[in-house]
Amino acid sequence: MRAYYMDEDPSDQRLPHDSGVAVPEEILDKLGVLRWYIPVDAEGKWESQVDVIADERSYRNRDIVFVTKEGMGDQFEANLKKFYHEHMHEDEEIRYIIEGGGYFDVRESPTDSWIRLHLGSGDMIVLPAGIYHRFGLDTNMRSRTMRLFKDEPKWIAHYRGEHTDTNPFRIDYLKNLQSNGVAVGA
């Protein structure tokens, strides 16, 4: 996984948009972004390593989503737009990339800058509840991803706006940032 600040170029979201400024791991830690690298192997050893993390974090359900034109059919373009629209969740978002790759963009506090995380096969990430983020595919336009859930599999996005700024999960996230020594914007 690579982490860097995004440039300000609004063109094709599949491009790297690398500003050339790397994001230190300490910043990701303060933002609550957890990450692991678990190589995908033919023997399936990766599954037991994912299971350990899932058990530690109380994840009981999972599914595998194929973010491809073939996997999503007519809903492919609509889903990509939905995933890339800035949002937050009231649960952690935990993903393990089995094949392909993509970008998770997260908002830094208090600057509100976009930090781009480029994930590929073997990368696992946990985004905390309440963090503003979005997802997009890279130029390979495919990702086979395991999604893990504490309860039944669901994906409920709360798109950024006045309502989400006052969402209790967003407020708790900002309080956690402050306890980690991160300044929080107004």
Q: Is 99 annotated as contributing to ligand binding?
A: no
Q: Is 118 annotated as contributing to ligand binding?
A: no
Contact between 98 and 84 under an 8 Å Cβ cutoff? The reply is no
Provide, for the chain, the percentages of residues in helix, strand and coil under a 3-state DSSP scheme, each rounded to the nearest 5.
25, 35, 40
Q: From CA 43, how far away is CA 62, in angstroms rounded?
A: 20
Report DSSP state, residue 11: S
Structure tokens at 137: 């595919």
For residue 128, whether the previous peptide bond is cis, meaning omega lies within 30 degrees of 0, is no
User: Which residues are paired to 66 by β-bridges?
Assistant: 144
Q: Is 85 annotated as contributing to ligand binding?
A: no
Contact between 117 and 16 under an 8 Å Cβ cutoff? The reply is no
Contact between 58 and 107 under an 8 Å Cβ cutoff? The reply is no
User: Which residues are paired to 93 by β-bridges?
Assistant: 127
Q: Is 133 annotated as contributing to ligand binding?
A: yes
DSSP 167-179: -HHHHHHHHHHHH
Annotated binding site for Ni(2+): 87, 89, 93, 133
Q: Which residues make up each annotated binding site for Fe(2+)? A: 87, 89, 93, 133
Residue list for the binding site: 87, 89, 93, 133
